[in-house]
Amino acid sequence: MKADRGLDFLVPLFAVALCWPLLARSAASETNLTAGDQMLADYFRTETMKLNERCLANVKTPGDWTAHREKYRHQLFEMLGLRPLPEKTDLQPVVTGKVEADSFKVEKLYFQSLPGLYVTANLYLPENLAKPAPTILYVCGHGPVIKDGVSYGNKVSYQHHGAWFAQNGYVCLIIDTLQLGEIQGIHHGTYREGMWWWNSRGYTPAGVEAWNGIRALDYLCTRPEVDTNRFGVTGRSGGGAYSWTIAALDDRIRVAAPVAGITDLQNYVVDGAVEGHCDCMFFLNTYRWDYPQLAAMLAPRPLLIGNSDKDTIFPLDGVVRLHGKVRRIYELFGASTNLGLLITEGPHRDTQDLQLPVFRWFNRFLKGEDPLIEVAAKKYFEPEQLKVFDKLPASQKNSTIQETFVPMAKPPDAPTSKDDWTKQRDEWLAGLKEKCFGGWPEKAGPLELKQVFSAEHRGVDLDAYEFTSQPNVRLRVYLARRPRLKKPERVVLAVQNEEEWDNWIAGVRHAFADEVESDAPEGQPLFKTSAKQFDIFRRTLATNNCVLIYVAPRGIGPTAWSGDAKKQTQIQRRFMLIGQTLDGMRAWDIRRAIQAVHSFPSLKGIPLWVEAHGDLAADALYASLFEKGIAGLELWQLPKSHRDGPDYLNVLRVLDLPQAAAMAAERCPVHLVDTDSRGWGYPFSVGQNLGWNEKRFVIEPLLSATSR
């Protein structure tokens, strides 16, 4: 049986991971870290600091907070996948049984927060209630209780809280979570399952947990035992996180006491605490909040922030920083006594030191009393006694709710007029800027181009330049041509993935070893050399009247960061926490590379084509929507949907790749190579309806490797 473990079983794994950003602050040459690691650590630190500095900075008066709070609430609903709000359908509650203790009873029940989305729960009721009682919604952390393959729900782990509340005159509803309920769903989509399309879909299980909490309040409002004017919410770890979102979204919560459920972005991103958390802890940070902004949403309602001093996944320094920012909002309202900070000794565990002050907090603000607490919280029942279902319902959608919880944009019909197309296109572009690429820099800033070397060897003229994509992201472009080429017909910007970079640089190094040796990531083996790859490279230049420019976006080639697949996953998750995705920022890198190409005087007026492969082809496609002066796109193996391609925040709520391809085709020819022709009807139809040249959008047959 697994019980009461919370997230403590993760500590040995992520405690080591926490060292990564700290080590990255040292000189890369003194560790096994790459120059890319250093760049990435500096980048995350800078971006996080920027969000921290602007967090709540525009709130100077109570009026400021009142004016902004409703807007922030709408943003939070959206970042949880709850805007528009799902329909509040019939809960269809069913009580399946009861158990009793000396001074309270427990109803075993379930309701449907959406049709087929079942919430299993235990309702703790004091004996002999004379009138409606103050009521606590208790949301559970990660405390799995599984015996012989049967899940009894994490409500069993936290039953002692419900028992204490009922023994002391409260009604308490403990609800199971999506992943650890009797019907087991998924919390670990990006963390473990590689479901990066969750970001594209705008889905996070944190939204389901918030919705289930709101619907739990709806259910409690139907119970005669409940005083609907005296609701409180609490929980620890994951339950602490859900306490924050439920209370922020629903003003029926009058008092909150989240325990070990929040810290700030510096802890999550820079210090690496994200690696100890699954996806259910986080909203998709579309509007680029730091977490004190979420915490401040409860002001000026009574709020107790609880944490222990040795909690490695909610480090105390971040909790204290968060409390300081929130305290300022409470002070604006003259409500400092409504805000408490509870710090106890200990690790990330459900200790009595944390429990008792929480009980006192609710007594104080929901009952108006502060008696001596003489009875400790303890468990009374075996898991089997609290189980709700004898047989799991066949109609359940818990295990697949990620497929339907957030609605995708409906596939549009191809417009039949230029006006209709213009309106649709402009709406998409605005949606992409706001919902998907809000993490791009507000201002591009100077490129700061610097020539690294210029050399000619064995029939190849090669120049290298560094440029700034954004602060702390310095990339390189390589310009290659045959010597004494006077009038090139075109410039081709080749955006390289890791495999392409490895092959290309191996060929280049065969002839330009002295020049490119410094491109090898520090602390890593030098690049291999390949006469075969150099011969392919040289012949391509000799037989094409063009300038070839090579660029590897961040995290590829010279800026590659170290680590195994698990480490790469955690790096990608950090981007989401600061309102970006890795592929979204690679699209920005491609934009900046295009700008760098346009800045070379010798290339003025020469048509620029952009070539990329796979996910980077999608990144190049989106980059082209925001840059002028592109003569054409050659996109290899372009995915037909973000479900199978790169992830950008919320993009599937705006459009999918066929619609993006149509927008690109309006601006320049788009050639898809080695791409399944099925699923691309939309750009063809738009072109036909609007009278575009048939060469605007073409799906070409596979070309040989030597002709690329």
pLDDT of residue 702: 65
pLDDT of residue 528: 83
pLDDT of residue 520: 54
Q: Could you read off the pLDDT of 159-172 as tens digits, one per residue?
A: 999 999 999 999 99
Kindly state the average pLDDT of the residues 342-371: 96
pLDDT of residue 31: 53
pLDDT of residue 365: 98
CA 590 to mean position of chain CA atoms:
22
The answer to whether 490 and 481 are in contact (CB under 8 A) is: no
Query: 12 pLDDT band (50/70/90 cuts)?
Result: very low
Helix, strand, coil % in the chain, rounded to nearest 5 = 40, 20, 40
pLDDT of residue 519: 52
Residue 83 has pLDDT above 60, yes or no: yes
DSSP 413: P
The answer to whether 530 and 510 are in contact (CB under 8 A) is: yes
One of 3.40.50.1820, 3.40.50.300, 3.40.50.720, 3.40.50.2300 is the CATH number of 35-403, namely 3.40.50.1820
Distance CA 643, CA 622 (A): 16
- Whether pTM > 0.85 for this model: the answer is yes
DSSP 80: T
pLDDT of residue 34: 86
Query: 700 pLDDT band (50/70/90 cuts)?
Result: confident
Kindly state the average pLDDT of the residues 132-158: 97
Distance CA 71, CA 289 (A): 13
Residue 5 has pLDDT above 60, yes or no: no
DSSP 674: S
Residue 18 has pLDDT above 50, yes or no: no
Query: 87 pLDDT band (50/70/90 cuts)?
Result: very high
Lowest-pLDDT choice from 22-31, 276-285, 388-397, 608-617: 22-31
- 275 to each of 38, 63, 148, 317, how far by Cα in Å? 19, 38, 29, 17
Instruction: Name the residue with higher pLDDT: 436 or 518.
Output: 436
- 216 to each of 49, 120, 338, how far by Cα in Å? 37, 10, 25
Handedness of CA 353, 359, 364, 368 (dihedral sign): negative
pLDDT of residue 564: 94
pLDDT of residue 194: 94
Q: Could you read off the pLDDT of 452-507 as tens digits, one per residue?
A: 999 999 999 999 999 999 999 999 999 999 998 988 999 999 999 999 999 999 99
Query: 319 pLDDT band (50/70/90 cuts)?
Result: very high
For 35-49, what is the HEC assignment? HHHHHHHHHHHHHHH
Kindly state the average pLDDT of the residues 321-328: 98
Average pLDDT over the chain, rounded to whole? 93
pLDDT of residue 23: 36
pLDDT of residue 132: 98
Distance CA 345, CA 275 (A): 23
The answer to whether 213 and 233 are in contact (CB under 8 A) is: yes
Query: 515 pLDDT band (50/70/90 cuts)?
Result: confident
The answer to whether 527 and 520 are in contact (CB under 8 A) is: yes
pLDDT of residue 27: 37
pLDDT of residue 215: 98
Domain boundaries, the chain: 35-403
State what percent of residues in the chain have pLDDT above 90: 90
Distance CA 522, CA 559 (A): 10
State what percent of residues in the chain have pLDDT above 70: 93
Q: Is 288 helix (H, G, I), strand (E, B) or coil?
A: coil
Kindly state the average pLDDT of the residues 276-302: 97
What amino acid is encoded at 657 in this protein?
L
pLDDT of residue 7: 36
* Long-range contacts, 497-501 (Cβ 8 Å, 24+): 497/556, 497/613, 497/614, 497/615, 497/616, 498/556, 498/557, 498/560, 500/613, 501/552, 501/556, 501/557
Kindly state the average pLDDT of the residues 94-105: 96
- 429 to each of 108, 436, 589, 633, 681, how far by Cα in Å? 50, 10, 19, 19, 20
What amino acid is encoded at 233 in this protein?
V
Kindly state the average pLDDT of the residues 297-306: 98
Task: Provide the CB-side half-sphere exposure for 51 (13 A, CA).
Answer: 29
